[in-house]
Chains A and B, each alone.
Chain A
Amino acid sequence: MLKRKDLTIPFYMDPWFWVKLMVFIIFLLFLVWPFSSIIVNAFKSSKVDGFTMANFEKFFKKKYYYGALKNSVSVSVVPSLFAIVLGVPMAYLMTRYNVWGKKIWHVLAILSLMSPPFLGAYAWIMMFGRAGSVTTFLKQYGIAIPTIYGFGGISTVLTLKLYPYIYMYTSGAMESIDSSLEECAENLGSGKLRRFFTVTMPVVTPSITAGALVVFMSALADFGTPMLLGGQDFRTLPVLIYNEYLSEIGGNGNLASAISIIIVIITLVMLLVQKTYVGRRNYIMSALRPPKEIEVHGFKRFLVTLPVFLISFVSFLPQIVVCASSFQHTNYSSFTGGFTLENYQNLGSRLWSTMRNTFVYSLTAMVFIVIIGILMSYVIVRKKGKTGGLLDMLLMAPYVIPGSVLGLCYIVTFNVKPLVLTGTAAIIIISYVIRKLPYTVRSASAFLMQMDPSVEEASINLGVAPMKTFWKVTARLMLPGVFSGAILSWVTCINELSCSIMLSSGKNNTLTIEAYTNIVRNSVGSGAALSAILTITSAVILIICLKISKGKIRV
């Protein structure tokens, strides 16, 4: 009689079993467990024993709290809509016409998307704030401009920062429409405009809404912008979480936990709505004949270039303004003009410690992100089935859970035994890994999907064990995809603020945290200098990445 072990290979012989186990343990430890603890925390109160709804009652009774909910929703919905208004036409013009300087606008769009989270707000304050350069200039002529503090300003800044999501998602879809589809509509007697609304738009709609969802989630989670532009009267939920957490020092962050749950529920609802109503109608196409670029000349070419130029230039303007002002004299709290390097000189040794922190943390995180990212994308793409699907879902978590919420999760969970990590560099690195992993996994997965699985099988077949084959062949061939994703992960790590600011104990400050802290303290000179260093660092990395990956970047 044959024994079972002779007939089947036991599961523990499969190295991928151990990989899956390891990835699950990481996610359980640093995502599921911390998030569960704030759910529990949200239903507790220092005043009552056992579970209570008190925190939620407090939230929905006081205008101070539920007003922030309303504010948060409005500064997420409005930028999503305006981002569509900017992003879709830009995508259309960029994919269909021979726009002048196409590559430059594309790069500018990516740069503004990847800029430090507070930079837009900061630059706008410099220009249009109470003591802003444009404001004071216009005041001489008696012209008053509307305030940029509050709803209008936050919406504008977020729209200009986040519209590239829509632009990139939509242009991706527009490039994949087979031109025969539009030719067919034309052939059937549809005019150009009619064709756009009846054929082109429906086909790209799923991509637009997917982009809008990302804009919505990013705007909802944004911490830097409303913190600078919101002032005392206009608070959003992430700001509230941060303030509550600060004021509850020594407490358990019960109310902050409750607010966190509310913000995550909003994102989840939006995600589900998008998935059920639009995600279903996804027209997957592979363009055999991608649409041709229309050649226009002279004035017409100027006309198609102008909107693209205006959009990308205005959204890039903050980076120019901040870099330029970093060379101006200051009287501590405002710029006084002229050219100087003193802002940089004044940074002194503090600069080097924050630089060191920034690079040590982000590069350490990168090592983990690349290794886990390669393995995870392989499990998701090649080992479909339940675990792959579950991992894919866990990967959405960083999109759904705002940085400030994850920060709170970690503080609540890792402040007490068994695992005390608060105040260490490790916890910042871990938060980077969990939050920025998706960029690398998505990019690597997309690359892996194009790869022929039989190449790996050939290697195994020739006698190289599966795990060795993976590192020797698969990972080697995946490198270009991993690389472009990893660079994005890296740049976003460097610019990370909302989570690390809650986890940093001052001595662990990164460039971003340091720049932000200086700006809040109204130390404008150091703030501008640090922001400029940050902006230029990110830009250089991104441009190198774009050069190497030939402009193909996924956000």
Chain B
Amino acid sequence: MSNAVIINNAVKKYGDFIALKGVSLNIKEGEFFTLLGPSGCGKTTLLRMIAGFNSIEGGEFYFGDKLINAVPAHKRDIGMVFQNYAIFPHLTVEENVAYGLKARHVPKAEIAPRVAEALELVQIAHLAKRKPNELSGGQQQRVALARAFVIEPSVLLMDEPLSNLDAKLRVQMRTVIKKLQRKLGITTIYVTHDQEEALAISDRIAVMKDGVIMQCGTPTEIYAKPQNPFVAGFIGVSNFLDCEVSGGGVVNIKDELKVTVPVQSDYTGPAKLSARPEQLFFAKEGMPGTVQFSTFLGDFIEYEVQLNDGQNLIVNEYTKDTTERHEAGEKVFLNFDPTRISVYRADTEEVITC
């Protein structure tokens, strides 16, 4: 049996409120897949439907070719890491990790070495006899992780596992998780609201908003080619500029700059252009503006530039690319590479660039 996870048209309702409006996903075997979105977007709801803790109001869920809608949670053979770790407080680290193996009636002689190996993998073998209340947050997280993968589940689910850790530990643990997943090759579905974490850890990401998937793709695709203004704004920072598209991909920005962009539709009319701060640069010609403020951040300088109509844009210039620094009040021209930015229809917010 393959360990792919296929979801067709999943619907979740809470009374009249529809939390998931027909979500379809095709998660490949061994893939590290992330559900990313702001709170209330339905990402945790979907994860809990996969785990069997939420009822399913519509759609089909498959593990490989097996329909699991009617399989109760305890028979789904899934490992799960919870946001608050959910370590059994009355059991030692060892007993916590052995819990799932015992439930599966793994022979006793086999349990001890498997637990030891799992603890070794997450580097907490020395804590085996401790009780959970004697552990730090990061250590508890490792116990939760070991407990989830030691049962060799077909799928591993993680619900914001790093959100209760401090910033430094978060970065450290995300590497631990990523390496472990690579090593074990378990199909993993990861939920987070932290876009940086998602980009760093995932093979593919589904960006969700209001119970709908806004875009699904690799971190590079999602960052470089956001399919709608929401994704452009949610992943990284984007400057949005109102503009007018005429035939052949000619984009007129506030009558101050005209560029031709590669397009995939023949739409003409009002549109919205998004450009990352590092995609904008100072040039001899382009959109005229005035530097308002500059912040030196080491590897780059962040400028706030006001256009003639009063809109402020963020422009990042890498220190390695320049020696000069623009001062507040300086008149500048901004430009960009037309093949790297995205343009969306003003009405439907669909992307028209390719």
What chain B residues lie within 8 Å of A477 (beta carbons)? Answer: 89-90
What chain B residues lie within 8 Å of A461 (beta carbons)? Answer: 51, 73-74, 78-80
Separation of A461 and B56 alpha carbons in the complex (Å): 17
What chain B residues lie within 8 Å of A463 (beta carbons)? Answer: 74-75, 77, 100, 103-104, 151
**Does B67 sit within 8 A of A, measured CB to CB?**
yes
| B69:A473 contact, CB within 8 angstroms | no
| A457:B88 contact, CB within 8 angstroms | no
**Does B210 sit within 8 A of A, measured CB to CB?**
no
Separation of A287 and B169 alpha carbons in the complex (Å): 29
What chain A residues lie within 8 Å of B51 (beta carbons)? Answer: 457, 461
What chain B residues lie within 8 Å of A454 (beta carbons)? Answer: 82-84, 86
What chain A residues lie within 8 Å of B88 (beta carbons)? Answer: 455, 458-459, 473
Which residues in window 59-116 of B have CB below 8 A to A? 60, 67, 69-70, 72-75, 77-80, 82-84, 86-90, 99-100, 103-104
**Does A9 sit within 8 A of B, measured CB to CB?**
yes
| B83:A5 contact, CB within 8 angstroms | no
| B99:A13 contact, CB within 8 angstroms | no
**Does A7 sit within 8 A of B, measured CB to CB?**
yes
What chain B residues lie within 8 Å of A320 (beta carbons)? Answer: none
| B89:A460 contact, CB within 8 angstroms | no
**Does A192 sit within 8 A of B, measured CB to CB?**
no
| B53:A462 contact, CB within 8 angstroms | no
What chain B residues lie within 8 Å of A458 (beta carbons)? Answer: 80, 82, 86-88, 144, 147
Q: 14 interchain pairs (CB within 8 A)?
A: A2-B67, A5-B70, A7-B70, A9-B72, A454-B82, A458-B80, A458-B82, A459-B88, A459-B99, A460-B73, A461-B78, A463-B100, A466-B72, A477-B89
Closest A residue by C-beta to B97: A462
What chain B residues lie within 8 Å of A460 (beta carbons)? Answer: 52-53, 73-74
Question: Contact check: which of B60, B82, B103, B144 meets A457 at CB < 8 Å?
Answer: B82
Excluding A454-B86, A463-B75, 10 further A-B contacts by CB distance (< 8 Å) are: A2-B67, A7-B70, A460-B74, A461-B74, A462-B99, A462-B100, A463-B77, A463-B100, A476-B90, A477-B89
**Does A57 sit within 8 A of B, measured CB to CB?**
no
Given contacts A455-B89, A477-B89, contact A7 B69 (CB under 8 A): yes
**Does A295 sit within 8 A of B, measured CB to CB?**
no
Give B182 Cβ to nearest chain A Cβ, in Å: 23
Closest A residue by C-beta to B57: A8
Question: Contact check: which of B70, B80, B89, B103 meets A464 at CB < 8 Å?
Answer: B103
Separation of A462 and B98 alpha carbons in the complex (Å): 10
**Does A49 sit within 8 A of B, measured CB to CB?**
no
What chain A residues lie within 8 Å of B60 (beta carbons)? Answer: 2, 7
| B89:A462 contact, CB within 8 angstroms | no
What chain B residues lie within 8 Å of A294 (beta carbons)? Answer: none
**B55, B82, B104 — most chain A CB neighbours (10 Å):** B82
Separation of A476 and B103 alpha carbons in the complex (Å): 17
Which residues in window 318-342 of B have CB below 8 A to A? none
Separation of A528 and B204 alpha carbons in the complex (Å): 80
Give A171 Cβ to nearest chain B Cβ, in Å: 29
Separation of A218 and B289 alpha carbons in the complex (Å): 78
What chain B residues lie within 8 Å of A476 (beta carbons)? Answer: 90
What chain A residues lie within 8 Å of B74 (beta carbons)? Answer: 460-466, 469
Q: Mark A450-483, 1 if CB is under 8 A from B, else 0.
A: 0010110111111111100100010011000000
Chain A to chain B: the 3 pairs with minimum beta-carbon distance, closest first: A462-B100, A454-B86, A463-B103
Question: Contact check: which of B53, B70, B86 meets A6 at CB < 8 Å?
Answer: B70
Separation of A427 and B52 alpha carbons in the complex (Å): 43
Separation of A460 and B77 alpha carbons in the complex (Å): 10
Give A478 Cβ to nearest chain B Cβ, in Å: 11
Interface of chain A, helix or strand or loop or mixed? helix
Give B163 Cβ to nearest chain A Cβ, in Å: 13
What chain B residues lie within 8 Å of A2 (beta carbons)? Answer: 60, 67
Separation of A477 and B87 alpha carbons in the complex (Å): 12
What chain A residues lie within 8 Å of B89 (beta carbons)? Answer: 455, 477
What chain A residues lie within 8 Å of B73 (beta carbons)? Answer: 457, 460-461, 466
Give A148 Cβ to nearest chain B Cβ, in Å: 53
| A462:B69 contact, CB within 8 angstroms | no
Separation of A6 and B69 alpha carbons in the complex (Å): 7
Separation of A2 and B79 alpha carbons in the complex (Å): 27
Separation of A469 and B100 alpha carbons in the complex (Å): 12
Separation of A466 and B70 alpha carbons in the complex (Å): 15
Give B6 Cβ to nearest chain A Cβ, in Å: 14
**A8, A455, A462, A464 — most chain B CB neighbours (10 Å):** A462
Give A465 Cβ to nearest chain B Cβ, in Å: 5
Q: Mark A206-226, 1 if CB is under 8 A from B, else 0.
A: 000000000000000000000
Which residues in window 150-173 of A have CB below 8 A to B? none
Closest A residue by C-beta to B69: A7
Give A136 Cβ to nearest chain B Cβ, in Å: 60
Q: Mark B282-310, 1 if CB is under 8 A from A, else 0.
A: 00000000000000000000000000000
Closest B residue by C-beta to A14: B72
Q: Mark A1-45, 1 if CB is under 8 A from B, else 0.
A: 010011111000100000000000000000000000000000000
What chain A residues lie within 8 Å of B103 (beta carbons)? Answer: 462-464
Separation of A5 and B69 alpha carbons in the complex (Å): 9
Separation of A463 and B78 alpha carbons in the complex (Å): 9
What chain A residues lie within 8 Å of B82 (beta carbons)? Answer: 454, 457-458
Given contacts A7-B60, A466-B74, contact A457 B86 (CB under 8 A): yes
Give B49 Cβ to nearest chain A Cβ, in Å: 12
Which residues in window 440-458 of A have CB below 8 A to B? 452, 454-455, 457-458
Given contacts A6-B67, A9-B70, contact A462 B90 (CB under 8 A): no
Question: Contact check: which of A13, A452, A465 meets B84 at CB < 8 Å?
Answer: A452
Separation of A476 and B77 alpha carbons in the complex (Å): 25
Separation of A240 and B74 alpha carbons in the complex (Å): 57
Separation of A5 and B70 alpha carbons in the complex (Å): 7
What chain A residues lie within 8 Å of B70 (beta carbons)? Answer: 5-9
Separation of A454 and B75 alpha carbons in the complex (Å): 17
Separation of A2 and B69 alpha carbons in the complex (Å): 11
Separation of A12 and B77 alpha carbons in the complex (Å): 22
Q: Mark B120-131, 1 if CB is under 8 A from A, else 0.
A: 000000000000
Given contacts A7-B56, A455-B86, contact A13 B79 (CB under 8 A): no
Q: Mark A294-321, 1 if CB is under 8 A from B, else 0.
A: 0000000000000000000000000000
Separation of A476 and B88 alpha carbons in the complex (Å): 11
Closest B residue by C-beta to A3: B70
Separation of A329 and B83 alpha carbons in the complex (Å): 69
| A462:B151 contact, CB within 8 angstroms | yes
Separation of A465 and B103 alpha carbons in the complex (Å): 9
**A459, A460, A477 — most chain B CB neighbours (10 Å):** A460
Give B290 Cβ to nearest chain A Cβ, in Å: 44
Closest A residue by C-beta to B144: A458
Separation of A55 and B195 alpha carbons in the complex (Å): 74
Separation of A460 and B54 alpha carbons in the complex (Å): 13
Closest B residue by C-beta to A464: B103
Separation of A189 and B99 alpha carbons in the complex (Å): 58
Which residues in window 413-461 of A have CB below 8 A to B? 452, 454-455, 457-461
Given contacts A462-B99, A465-B74, contact A8 B56 (CB under 8 A): yes
| B72:A13 contact, CB within 8 angstroms | yes
**A452, A458, A466 — most chain B CB neighbours (10 Å):** A458
Closest B residue by C-beta to A453: B86
What chain B residues lie within 8 Å of A473 (beta carbons)? Answer: 88
Separation of A2 and B84 alpha carbons in the complex (Å): 37
What chain B residues lie within 8 Å of A6 (beta carbons)? Answer: 67, 69-70
Give A388 Cβ to nearest chain B Cβ, in Å: 16
